[in-house]
Every structure is written in C-alpha cells, then in structure tokens.
Amino acid sequence: MPCVRIDTVRHHTTGADVAGTTLRQQRVVAFVGIGNPQAFANTLAALGTEVVALLVFPDHHPYTPADWQAIVSTINTQHATALITTEKDAVRLPCAWQAPVPLYTLRIGVTFPTDAPRLANQLALHMHHVDVR
C-alpha cells in the first residue's frame, strides 16, 4: 500500500522551504482543485494545523478573480493566520494576487513499501509502455 508523505512546505512569496512545524496550531484556510481534497485536509491535520475552511474547486480549476475574492473573504471571516494549497494549484494563481496572510504550498509525495516487488514490477512495465511523444 502506498504512503502519502509531505515532501516540502514552501512559502509561496519568498520561495523558501519552511519546516512543516511552521503551520502547527495555525488557523489555516486551504483551497484545492484536486481529485481527492479530503486527503489534502487529512495531510494538513497531520501537520497539526487547524483547518478552519477547506475550499474545494474542480480538478485543474483555472482560478478567477471571483475565486480569489472568495478565498480572501474566507481568510478574513475565519480570522485565519495562513493560507495553504498544493503546488499544482499555486501555479494557476496570477502573480499579482496577494493574500492578507502568508500563502504556503505543499508538495506531496508517495512512497511504496520496499517489500512490494509485484507493484514495483507493474509500475516498471507500465512506464516502459508509456508513449512520451
């Protein structure tokens, strides 16, 4: 069974990697446009954050000014101290959009147990047959 792990937490404005403990006990508004938003929320809870709002958008959502206004409004009404999203979502935000609190991005990785040779073989076969044109 694969395990989800946190690769990095990055301060979006500065680009600096920060310790996951930076988010511990912070009131966080999270927003995501991914297939499994609850897994993202569970990961944030494992970091010790208090997720005061999780705004879920469709997978691969192109964020609009109205979306950003809703996010900022939620930050203000929830008295959040941080905003967090995935790297995948952050790249779809225009650079000009500023948050009233620090914005962090989370890079998630997946690890597979070393005692899973069958899975490793299946992945290797699949990757061998992928057409990269």
CATH architecture of 3-128: 3-Layer(aba) Sandwich (3.40)
What is the dihedral angle through the alpha carbons of 77, 94, 48, 35, rounded to the nearest 10 degrees?
100
The per-residue pLDDT for range 72-108, each reduced to its tens digit, is 999 999 999 999 999 889 989 988 888 999 999 987 6
Is the CB of residue 80 less than 8 Å from the CB of residue 29? yes
Say which residue the tokens 């508004």 belong to: 29
Is the CB of residue 121 less than 8 Å from the CB of residue 102? no
- Most confident of the following: 8-22, 37-51, 70-84: 70-84
68/63 Cα distance (integer angstroms): 7
pTM: 0.75
Domain map (residue ranges) of the chain: 3-128
